[in-house]
Amino acid sequence: MATKHPNVLSIAGVDPSGGAGILADIKTMSALSAYATGVVTAVTAQNTQGVTGVVAIPTEFVVEQIDTLFKDVHIDAVKIGMLFDSDLIKAIAQRLRYWKPQYIVLDPVMVAKSGDALLNDDAVSTLRTELLEMSTIITPNLPEAARLLESEAITNDEQMQHAAERLWRIKGEVGWVYLKGGHRENDDMAEDFLYNGSETIKLKSKRTKTKNTHGTGCALSSALAALLPVSEDVPSAARAAKEFISNAIEHADELHVGHGHGPIMHFYKQWVCGK
Protein backbone atom coordinates (compact mmCIF):
# COMPACT_ATOMS: atom_id res chain seq x y z
CA MET A 1 0.00 0.00 0.00
CA ALA A 2 1.25 3.49 -0.82
CA THR A 3 1.75 6.32 1.63
CA LYS A 4 -1.23 8.25 2.99
CA HIS A 5 -0.90 10.69 0.07
CA PRO A 6 -0.06 8.66 -3.05
CA ASN A 7 1.30 10.37 -6.18
CA VAL A 8 -1.28 9.91 -8.91
CA LEU A 9 -1.01 10.84 -12.59
CA SER A 10 -3.76 11.89 -14.99
CA ILE A 11 -2.99 11.54 -18.71
CA ALA A 12 -5.80 13.50 -20.32
CA GLY A 13 -6.97 16.59 -22.19
CA VAL A 14 -7.78 20.06 -20.85
CA ASP A 15 -11.35 21.34 -20.48
CA PRO A 16 -11.02 25.09 -19.69
CA SER A 17 -14.35 25.06 -17.82
CA GLY A 18 -12.84 22.63 -15.31
CA GLY A 19 -15.74 20.21 -15.41
CA ALA A 20 -13.98 17.37 -17.21
CA GLY A 21 -10.52 16.31 -18.31
CA ILE A 22 -7.30 16.87 -16.44
CA LEU A 23 -8.59 19.77 -14.31
CA ALA A 24 -11.48 17.66 -13.03
CA ASP A 25 -9.08 14.78 -12.44
CA ILE A 26 -6.82 16.96 -10.33
CA LYS A 27 -9.78 18.19 -8.28
CA THR A 28 -10.96 14.63 -7.65
CA MET A 29 -7.53 13.34 -6.68
CA SER A 30 -6.96 16.31 -4.39
CA ALA A 31 -10.34 15.88 -2.73
CA LEU A 32 -9.38 12.27 -1.97
CA SER A 33 -6.02 13.21 -0.41
CA ALA A 34 -3.80 12.12 -3.30
CA TYR A 35 -1.07 14.29 -4.80
CA ALA A 36 -2.18 14.93 -8.39
CA THR A 37 0.17 15.21 -11.36
CA GLY A 38 -0.80 15.64 -15.00
CA VAL A 39 0.34 14.95 -18.56
CA VAL A 40 -1.65 16.88 -21.18
CA THR A 41 -2.67 15.09 -24.39
CA ALA A 42 -4.85 17.83 -25.92
CA VAL A 43 -6.23 21.29 -25.24
CA THR A 44 -9.79 22.24 -26.06
CA ALA A 45 -11.90 25.35 -26.46
CA GLN A 46 -14.84 24.27 -24.32
CA ASN A 47 -17.47 25.45 -21.87
CA THR A 48 -20.51 23.88 -20.22
CA GLN A 49 -22.45 24.08 -23.48
CA GLY A 50 -20.06 22.42 -25.89
CA VAL A 51 -16.66 22.11 -27.56
CA THR A 52 -15.64 24.55 -30.29
CA GLY A 53 -12.10 23.37 -30.94
CA VAL A 54 -9.43 20.77 -30.12
CA VAL A 55 -5.66 20.99 -30.56
CA ALA A 56 -3.69 17.78 -30.03
CA ILE A 57 -0.33 17.87 -28.25
CA PRO A 58 2.32 16.21 -30.46
CA THR A 59 2.89 12.60 -29.47
CA GLU A 60 6.64 13.12 -28.96
CA PHE A 61 5.94 15.86 -26.43
CA VAL A 62 3.37 13.74 -24.56
CA VAL A 63 6.08 11.06 -24.28
CA GLU A 64 8.58 13.67 -23.06
CA GLN A 65 6.12 14.79 -20.38
CA ILE A 66 5.68 11.19 -19.18
CA ASP A 67 9.38 10.35 -19.12
CA THR A 68 10.43 13.58 -17.45
CA LEU A 69 7.84 13.10 -14.72
CA PHE A 70 8.58 9.43 -14.03
CA LYS A 71 12.36 10.06 -13.88
CA ASP A 72 11.80 12.26 -10.83
CA VAL A 73 8.49 11.32 -9.18
CA HIS A 74 7.40 7.88 -7.97
CA ILE A 75 3.91 7.48 -9.46
CA ASP A 76 1.63 5.09 -7.56
CA ALA A 77 -1.29 5.08 -10.01
CA VAL A 78 -2.13 6.37 -13.47
CA LYS A 79 -5.50 7.38 -14.87
CA ILE A 80 -5.75 7.51 -18.68
CA GLY A 81 -8.45 9.67 -20.24
CA MET A 82 -8.73 11.41 -23.62
CA LEU A 83 -6.46 9.95 -26.32
CA PHE A 84 -6.88 11.10 -29.90
CA ASP A 85 -5.24 8.59 -32.26
CA SER A 86 -3.48 5.24 -32.66
CA ASP A 87 0.05 6.66 -32.57
CA LEU A 88 -0.55 8.33 -29.21
CA ILE A 89 -2.19 5.22 -27.76
CA LYS A 90 0.75 3.05 -28.81
CA ALA A 91 3.28 5.54 -27.44
CA ILE A 92 1.58 5.83 -24.05
CA ALA A 93 1.26 2.06 -23.79
CA GLN A 94 4.97 1.66 -24.56
CA ARG A 95 6.06 4.20 -21.94
CA LEU A 96 3.80 2.74 -19.25
CA ARG A 97 5.19 -0.74 -19.96
CA TYR A 98 8.63 0.74 -19.42
CA TRP A 99 7.84 2.63 -16.20
CA LYS A 100 5.50 -0.05 -14.78
CA PRO A 101 3.20 1.92 -12.41
CA GLN A 102 1.41 -0.42 -10.00
CA TYR A 103 -2.11 0.68 -10.94
CA ILE A 104 -3.52 1.84 -14.28
CA VAL A 105 -7.12 3.02 -14.62
CA LEU A 106 -8.34 3.35 -18.20
CA ASP A 107 -11.35 5.55 -18.91
CA PRO A 108 -11.95 4.78 -22.62
CA VAL A 109 -13.23 8.19 -23.70
CA MET A 110 -14.71 7.43 -27.12
CA VAL A 111 -18.21 8.91 -27.22
CA ALA A 112 -19.21 12.50 -26.42
CA LYS A 113 -22.37 13.35 -24.45
CA SER A 114 -23.89 14.34 -27.79
CA GLY A 115 -23.33 10.78 -29.00
CA ASP A 116 -20.59 11.78 -31.45
CA ALA A 117 -17.63 9.41 -31.79
CA LEU A 118 -14.35 10.87 -30.51
CA LEU A 119 -12.11 8.07 -31.84
CA ASN A 120 -12.12 6.49 -35.27
CA ASP A 121 -12.41 2.72 -35.66
CA ASP A 122 -8.66 2.28 -36.11
CA ALA A 123 -7.92 4.06 -32.82
CA VAL A 124 -10.58 2.04 -30.98
CA SER A 125 -8.95 -1.15 -32.25
CA THR A 126 -5.54 0.08 -31.03
CA LEU A 127 -7.06 0.92 -27.65
CA ARG A 128 -8.32 -2.67 -27.37
CA THR A 129 -4.99 -4.25 -28.24
CA GLU A 130 -2.60 -1.84 -26.50
CA LEU A 131 -4.22 -0.59 -23.30
CA LEU A 132 -7.04 -2.87 -22.14
CA GLU A 133 -4.96 -5.81 -20.96
CA MET A 134 -2.31 -3.71 -19.19
CA SER A 135 -4.94 -1.76 -17.21
CA THR A 136 -5.80 -2.73 -13.66
CA ILE A 137 -9.37 -1.65 -14.30
CA ILE A 138 -11.31 -0.13 -17.20
CA THR A 139 -14.31 2.17 -16.67
CA PRO A 140 -16.47 2.39 -19.81
CA ASN A 141 -19.96 3.82 -19.78
CA LEU A 142 -22.64 1.96 -21.73
CA PRO A 143 -22.12 3.68 -25.13
CA GLU A 144 -18.36 3.19 -24.81
CA ALA A 145 -18.81 -0.47 -23.89
CA ALA A 146 -21.03 -0.98 -26.94
CA ARG A 147 -18.37 0.65 -29.14
CA LEU A 148 -15.60 -1.52 -27.70
CA LEU A 149 -17.71 -4.64 -28.21
CA GLU A 150 -19.16 -3.54 -31.56
CA SER A 151 -22.57 -4.37 -30.12
CA GLU A 152 -26.03 -2.84 -29.99
CA ALA A 153 -27.09 -0.52 -27.19
CA ILE A 154 -26.84 -1.90 -23.64
CA THR A 155 -30.03 -1.12 -21.74
CA ASN A 156 -30.70 -3.64 -18.94
CA ASP A 157 -29.07 -5.77 -16.25
CA GLU A 158 -28.78 -8.88 -18.39
CA GLN A 159 -27.07 -6.96 -21.19
CA MET A 160 -24.77 -5.22 -18.71
CA GLN A 161 -23.70 -8.54 -17.23
CA HIS A 162 -23.05 -9.99 -20.67
CA ALA A 163 -21.12 -6.87 -21.70
CA ALA A 164 -18.96 -6.96 -18.55
CA GLU A 165 -18.09 -10.60 -19.22
CA ARG A 166 -17.20 -9.92 -22.86
CA LEU A 167 -15.13 -6.86 -21.96
CA TRP A 168 -13.18 -8.92 -19.43
CA ARG A 169 -12.46 -11.52 -22.09
CA ILE A 170 -11.19 -8.99 -24.66
CA LYS A 171 -9.19 -7.45 -21.80
CA GLY A 172 -7.20 -10.67 -21.74
CA GLU A 173 -9.11 -12.24 -18.82
CA VAL A 174 -7.11 -10.19 -16.31
CA GLY A 175 -7.95 -7.34 -13.96
CA TRP A 176 -11.35 -5.72 -13.54
CA VAL A 177 -14.13 -4.16 -15.57
CA TYR A 178 -16.13 -1.32 -13.99
CA LEU A 179 -19.16 -0.90 -16.26
CA LYS A 180 -21.02 2.34 -15.51
CA GLY A 181 -24.80 2.26 -15.80
CA GLY A 182 -25.49 5.98 -15.59
CA HIS A 183 -26.92 6.16 -19.12
CA ARG A 184 -29.93 4.08 -18.01
CA GLU A 185 -31.70 7.29 -17.07
CA ASN A 186 -35.16 5.76 -16.60
CA ASP A 187 -33.99 3.88 -13.51
CA ASP A 188 -34.40 5.36 -10.02
CA MET A 189 -31.06 3.86 -8.99
CA ALA A 190 -27.68 4.42 -10.64
CA GLU A 191 -26.21 0.91 -10.85
CA ASP A 192 -22.70 -0.04 -11.93
CA PHE A 193 -21.26 -3.54 -12.47
CA LEU A 194 -17.79 -4.49 -11.20
CA TYR A 195 -16.52 -7.76 -12.69
CA ASN A 196 -13.27 -9.74 -12.56
CA GLY A 197 -14.10 -13.04 -14.26
CA SER A 198 -15.32 -14.81 -11.15
CA GLU A 199 -17.65 -12.39 -9.39
CA THR A 200 -19.96 -9.52 -10.20
CA ILE A 201 -20.37 -6.77 -7.62
CA LYS A 202 -23.29 -4.41 -8.17
CA LEU A 203 -22.69 -0.88 -6.91
CA LYS A 204 -25.89 1.08 -6.43
CA SER A 205 -26.77 4.61 -5.42
CA LYS A 206 -29.89 6.74 -5.54
CA ARG A 207 -30.06 8.71 -8.79
CA THR A 208 -29.90 12.51 -8.30
CA LYS A 209 -32.07 14.64 -10.58
CA THR A 210 -29.69 17.29 -11.92
CA LYS A 211 -28.38 18.47 -15.28
CA ASN A 212 -24.98 19.14 -13.70
CA THR A 213 -23.21 15.86 -14.44
CA HIS A 214 -20.41 17.05 -16.72
CA GLY A 215 -17.23 15.06 -16.08
CA THR A 216 -18.68 12.25 -13.99
CA GLY A 217 -16.67 9.64 -15.91
CA CYS A 218 -13.45 11.60 -15.42
CA ALA A 219 -14.13 11.89 -11.70
CA LEU A 220 -14.98 8.21 -11.24
CA SER A 221 -11.81 6.98 -12.94
CA SER A 222 -9.68 9.56 -11.13
CA ALA A 223 -11.23 8.56 -7.81
CA LEU A 224 -10.27 4.95 -8.49
CA ALA A 225 -6.70 5.99 -9.30
CA ALA A 226 -6.48 8.00 -6.08
CA LEU A 227 -8.01 5.25 -3.93
CA LEU A 228 -6.41 2.07 -5.29
CA PRO A 229 -2.98 2.70 -3.72
CA VAL A 230 -4.51 3.17 -0.26
CA SER A 231 -7.28 0.56 -0.40
CA GLU A 232 -7.32 -3.06 0.70
CA ASP A 233 -8.40 -4.29 -2.74
CA VAL A 234 -10.10 -3.22 -5.96
CA PRO A 235 -13.70 -3.74 -4.70
CA SER A 236 -13.12 -1.54 -1.65
CA ALA A 237 -11.60 1.18 -3.85
CA ALA A 238 -14.56 0.89 -6.25
CA ARG A 239 -17.10 1.21 -3.43
CA ALA A 240 -15.37 4.32 -2.10
CA ALA A 241 -15.14 5.81 -5.61
CA LYS A 242 -18.85 5.15 -6.18
CA GLU A 243 -19.67 6.86 -2.88
CA PHE A 244 -17.53 9.86 -3.84
CA ILE A 245 -19.12 10.31 -7.25
CA SER A 246 -22.66 9.87 -5.90
CA ASN A 247 -22.12 12.56 -3.26
CA ALA A 248 -20.40 14.87 -5.76
CA ILE A 249 -23.43 14.62 -8.06
CA GLU A 250 -25.85 15.08 -5.15
CA HIS A 251 -24.11 18.38 -4.27
CA ALA A 252 -23.61 19.54 -7.88
CA ASP A 253 -26.35 22.18 -7.75
CA GLU A 254 -24.47 24.04 -5.02
CA LEU A 255 -22.18 25.29 -7.78
CA HIS A 256 -23.17 27.85 -10.42
CA VAL A 257 -20.84 27.33 -13.39
CA GLY A 258 -22.05 28.21 -16.88
CA HIS A 259 -25.44 27.81 -18.53
CA GLY A 260 -25.22 24.24 -19.84
CA HIS A 261 -24.33 20.93 -18.19
CA GLY A 262 -22.36 22.12 -15.20
CA PRO A 263 -19.72 20.25 -13.21
CA ILE A 264 -20.18 18.04 -10.19
CA MET A 265 -19.09 19.21 -6.74
CA HIS A 266 -15.68 17.58 -6.25
CA PHE A 267 -15.07 19.35 -2.95
CA TYR A 268 -18.39 18.59 -1.24
CA LYS A 269 -16.51 17.56 1.92
CA GLN A 270 -14.04 20.43 1.96
CA TRP A 271 -16.15 23.44 0.97
CA VAL A 272 -18.96 25.12 2.83
CA CYS A 273 -21.06 26.76 0.11
CA GLY A 274 -22.92 29.95 0.86
CA LYS A 275 -26.50 30.47 -0.25
pLDDT digits (tens, 9 = 90+) for 117-133: 667 778 889 999 999 99
H or E segment at 24?
A: helix 21-31
* Cα(202)–Cα(195) distance, integer angstroms: 9
- By C-alpha distance, which of 194, 159, 158 is closest to 177? 194
Q: Catalytic: 262?
A: no
Q: Catalytic: 218?
A: yes
* Cα(263)–Cα(216) distance, integer angstroms: 8
Q: Which stretch of 137-141, 181-185, 206-210 has the lowest confidence by average pLDDT?
A: 181-185
Q: Catalytic: 115?
A: no
pLDDT per residue as tens digits for the range 12-47: 999 999 999 999 999 999 999 999 999 999 998 989
Q: Which of 13, 218, 242, 262 is catalytic?
A: 218
Note if the pTM is more than 0.85: yes
Q: Catalytic: 216?
A: yes
Residue ranges and CATH numbers for the domains of the chain are 7-254 (3.40.1190.20)
Q: Catalytic: 215?
A: yes
Q: What is the pLDDT of residue 54?
A: 87
Q: Which of 37, 139, 213, 242 is catalytic?
A: 213
